[in-house]
Chains A and B, each alone.
Chain A
Amino acid sequence: MIASFGLILLCQLVGEMFVRAVRLPMPGPVIGLVLLLLLLFARDRFALLARGPLRAEGVAHASRGMLANLSLLFIPAGVGVVQKLDLLAEHGVAIMIILAISVAVTLLATAATFLAVSRLMARGREQS
């Protein structure tokens, strides 16, 4: 458990160091994600690595626990809304409406594009 959490933090740490060193305009944890994924693939290739947190259920168990409660992690930032009450009193209604429209349009455009491309691919496979 502790070793698994340590491995996750280590991946994030390396990710943060990497984006700062290379000045990438992206978050360190995303690089950490890629790194952990590469470690898992490496473990499947080389039995030598399959120990400690990289054992069958090690890091996977710790990750599932965290992802099961992903909602909780947004509460501290969200409570920051108490600092913005005067701005929301002035523009709150407009902000909520445009956020809702933008989110709905984004959801539909993304899902529709995904479906359209996967149907085109399926049709391509049938014909070939």
Chain B
Amino acid sequence: MSDNPFSLWVYLSQSPLLWLTVTLMVYATVDAVSLATHRHPLANPVLHSIWIVGLFLLLTGTPYSTYFAGAQFVHFLLGPATVALAIPLYENRKMVVVAILPMLVALVVGSIVAIVSIVVLAQLAGLPHAVILSLAPKSVTAGVAMGIAESLGADPSLAAVAVVLTGIIGAIIVTPLMNGTGIADFRARGFAAGLAAHGIGTARAFQVDALAGVFSGIAMGLNALVTSLLVPLAIMLLLR
């Protein structure tokens, strides 16, 4: 045993092992709770994992960069998971072909609403210009939004936070909102979840219904494309 009880902590807190373990264990616990509540919208696994891990970092005084050195192995899988969406798409290809026209129209309308609403509202709320630029790509998946923010000269890490917040809000409100407005078509519900709330919305959609998950995944992929084209245009037209 070492003489100094702190030396073990010094070693652990700097190694990727500890933070990767913390991320996986917290998620596994929170996900089990979510399952026990029958996937209640408020028991969102992303939301609760984030505040628990974040609190742990603050209490131990660990910088985010040290945490990320371990957690990056999980973060990396966002890319392969996007590729993996090909599988549900392939398995449900017949349903998808039938709905191709509603999807394309909803994609264009939804994309424009997502960007214009956030830019206009942020201006009305009097947020600083730099913050508005980081919020604009909020409805696409983290990697893409960070790329868009960077190309606008905005803060990519703030864009990533806005993306995750958007995803959590979307995942929590989508089920009550759709039930409340009487929208029962799981294709429409899933497509809306993936468009507005990217991967976190898609994760939620897969929890509710497999077909909703498929349409959500398609919307997320298509919106990544459309939003990266539309955001620079919207910023030019709406922000002066």
Contact = CB atoms under 8 A, between A and B. Distances in A.
Interface of A: 5, 8-9, 11-12, 15, 25-30, 32-37, 40-41, 59-60, 62-64, 66-84, 87, 91, 94-115, 117-118, 121
Given A106-B113, A113-B110, A115-B185, A71 B80 contact: no
27 contacts: A15-B83, A27-B147, A37-B86, A62-B84, A67-B81, A68-B206, A71-B44, A71-B200, A73-B199, A74-B46, A74-B200, A75-B53, A75-B71, A78-B168, A80-B68, A80-B160, A83-B157, A95-B131, A100-B169, A103-B173, A107-B193, A110-B191, A111-B185, A113-B105, A115-B183, A117-B101, A118-B188
Interface in B83-118: 83-91, 99, 101-103, 105-107, 109-110, 113-114, 117-118
Contacts of A104: 173, 177
Nearest to B67: A79
A6 to B, nearest CB: 10
B229 interface: yes
Chain B interface main SS type: helix
B174 interface: yes
A69 B200 CA distance: 10
A108 B106 CA distance: 10
B74 A80 contact: no
A100 B231 CA distance: 19
Interface in B50-100: 50, 53-54, 57-58, 64, 67-68, 71-72, 74-75, 77-91, 99
Nearest to B184: A115
Contact of A60 (B67, B91, B163): B91
B57 A109 contact: no
B84 A107 contact: no
Contacts of A59: 87
B224 interface: yes
Contacts of A82: 54, 57-58, 64
A71 B32 CA distance: 13
A105 to B, nearest CB: 5
A32 B217 CA distance: 14
Interface residues on B, range: 35 or more
Contacts of A118: 99, 101-102, 185, 187-188
A87 B206 CA distance: 33
Given A81-B161, A104-B177, A109-B110, A75 B46 contact: yes
Contact of A121 (B78, B101, B166): B101
Contacts of B181: 108, 111
Given A26-B225, A99-B138, A108-B181, A36 B86 contact: yes
Contact of B106 (A101, A114, A121): A114
Contact of B105 (A64, A73, A97, A117): A117
A75 B48 CA distance: 10
Contacts of A111: 106, 178, 181, 183, 185, 188-189, 191-192
B216 to A, nearest CB: 10
A5 to B, nearest CB: 7
Contacts of A99: 118, 135, 138, 162, 165-166, 169
Given A30-B224, A99-B118, A111-B178, A80 B82 contact: no
Nearest to A84: B161
B158 interface: yes
A18 to B, nearest CB: 13
